[in-house]
Amino acid sequence: MAQILNLDTVATLRDLGDDLVLDLIQTYVAESDRLVSEIAAAAAAGNAAQIGSLAHSLKGSSLNMGLEVIGEVGLRLEKCGKGGDVEGAKGLLPELEQKYAQTKQALAELEKQLNV
């Protein structure tokens, strides 16, 4: 079962230094806020190719950070986009928003731990 935050990946990232992890979190959230918003806009516009491209970016950055659940949603959105399934992508938007909110909460908790 996928985890919101893969602790093994977090441990590997922390080996690089907590300050770097804090920077990565801030960069990830800023970029992902934009991606989530743009995915919704692309779905509303019926632009399957853009959905696929944006979701690919979200998936990759999420999985690199150990954010498995949102990475899986990104993968499903990417498949919809690449397959031209705009309606399928639209159907995933509520899950994207919910899982991204959970992801941001997990990252906020990690930030608190790192700032101690």
Taking each helix axis as running N to C, give the angle between helix 86-114 and helix 48-64, from 0 to 180 degrees, rounded to the nearest 10: 20
Note whether residue 41 is domain-resident: yes
Range of the domain at 48: 7-107
Task: Quote the pLDDT of residue 116.
Answer: 74
CA–CA separation, 70 and 14 (whole Å): 21
- The CATH number for 94's domain is 1.20.120.160
% of the chain exceeding 90 in pLDDT: 95
Q: How many domains does the chain have?
A: 1
Task: Quote the pLDDT of residue 30.
Answer: 98
Strands (E), the chain: none
Write down the pTM of the prediction: 0.94
Q: Is the pLDDT of residue 1 over 70?
A: no
What average pLDDT does this structure show over 2-25?
93
Task: Quote the pLDDT of residue 24.
Answer: 96
Note whether residue 65 is domain-resident: yes
CA–CA separation, 87 and 44 (whole Å): 10
Q: Is 97 buried (19+), middle (13-18) or exposed (0-12) by CB count in 10 A?
A: middle
Q: What are the residues whose beta carbons fall under 8 Å from the beta carbon of 95, sequence distance 6 or more? A: 73
pLDDT digits (tens, 9 = 90+) for 47-102: 999 999 999 999 999 999 999 999 999 999 999 999 999 999 999 999 999 999 99
What are the distances in angstroms from CA 5 to CA 40, 46, 62, 103, 108?
A: 23, 31, 10, 7, 11
Note whether residue 46 is domain-resident: yes
% of the chain exceeding 70 in pLDDT: 99
Name the one residue in this structure whose structure tokens are 């150990």. Answer: 66
Note whether residue 93 is domain-resident: yes
Note whether residue 116 is domain-resident: no
Note whether residue 115 is domain-resident: no
Note whether residue 1 is domain-resident: no
Average pLDDT, rounded, for the chain = 96
